[in-house]
Amino acid sequence: MIMKNTAYIFGPVPSRRLGQSLGVSPIPEKTCNYNCIYCQLGRTNKMTNKRHSFFPLKEIMNELKTYMKEKVNFDVITIVGEGEPTLYADLGMLIDEIKTLTDKPVVVITNSALMSDEGVRDALYKADIVLPTMDAFDEESLKRINRPFGTIKFTEVLQGLIEFSHHYKGKMWVEIMLVAGFNDSDKQLAALKMQLEKLKFDRVYVNTPVRPPSESYAKKVSRETLEKANKMFSALSIENLTAGEFFSNDPDIIEAVLEIITRHPMKEDEIKEFIKRRNEDVEETFAKLRNSGKIDICEYEGEKTYRHKK
């Protein structure tokens, strides 16, 4: 059976850190407690810090079960969403349920904002890999880069992250997004390093905006800065990792591309590669996509990126 238009499950999408990642999204579109200037999903329109059972766990699991019957190949299941997945109040139960279906690692990507919440930490302890983001080094930088929900305090986020890292038995891969002029000076990198020293983690990834950010002033840092940061943090550069292939089980090529770019903006080359692999005509498909009225094309760093129109 071919499933179309799944509500909660997407991919697998190629991830440079995780391989083929089957995504589970338990929260509504762009629901987040941050409004990061570099967010590739655009500005947060549903700003909240209240955890909620946005969708019934059973519905999500039913969809996942049906999806997995199709024997889709994937390396990990990633709970990620189009916002902050720890806002899903049943996150712990969701991880437990997924683990009854597969032995593949369950991953959670989080912005760390709710690490100060014991219930969130307890839920995350169940995951095999947690990728928390840590871009800020003080209250001011958190406000400038991540623009958090009003009550979120930098010191509490950091304390929660430290607490989590020292009790977690799985793998913790910290991600730092460097934005030019915001957290990339020598002094700021040194402050980030000092913070990292308080955490117990397995890997650090340094990243910089490579897809169109929500604010045009969120620019990527230079290669030299990336190399310097990688050295300072003993980090792995995401740039040097290669991504795999995009996947959709929708038989219609246009719908397939639209399904992927709803959750994951794609560069023009990535779409062309995807169309070619499905043995479809690249030019003709592109023309149909442009005429569908459903895509936004953004020019960023000399490259065209395609997103689903909101």
Contact residues for ligand SF4, defined by CB under 6 A? 32, 34-36, 39, 41, 44, 83-84, 111
d(CA 82, CA 24): 10
- In which residue are the tokens 């903006």 written? 265
Q: Is 169 exposed, middle or buried (0-12, 13-18, 19+ CB in 10 A)?
A: exposed
CB of 134: closest distance to ligand SF4 in angstroms?
12
CB of 35 to ligand SF4, least distance (A): 5
Q: Report in angstroms how near the CB of residue 146 gets to ligand SF4 at its nearest.
A: 6
Q: How many Å is the maximal CA-CA distance in the chain?
A: 56
Report the sign of the C-alpha dihedral through residues 115, 120, 126, 128, in that order.
negative
- Rank residues 6 and 207 by Cβ distance to ligand SF4 and give the closer one: 207
The least distance separating ligand SF4 from the CB of residue 83, rounded to whole angstroms, comes to 5
Q: Are the beta carbons of 11 and 73 closer than 8 angstroms?
A: no
Q: What does DSSP say about strands 46-47 and 9-15: parallel, antiparallel, or unpaired? A: unpaired
Q: Which residues contact 100 (CB under 8 A, 6 or more apart)?
A: none
Rounded Cα distance, 28 and 82, in Å: 7
Q: 36 vs 142, which CB is nearer to ligand SF4?
A: 36
What values do phi and psi take at 167, rounded to 5? -110, -15
**Cα–Cα distances in angstroms (integers) from residue 249 to residues 6, 78, 257, in the given order:** 10, 18, 10
**Residue 25 CB, nearest approach to ligand SF4 (Å):** 11
- Minimum gap (Å) between residue 110 Cβ and ligand SF4: 8
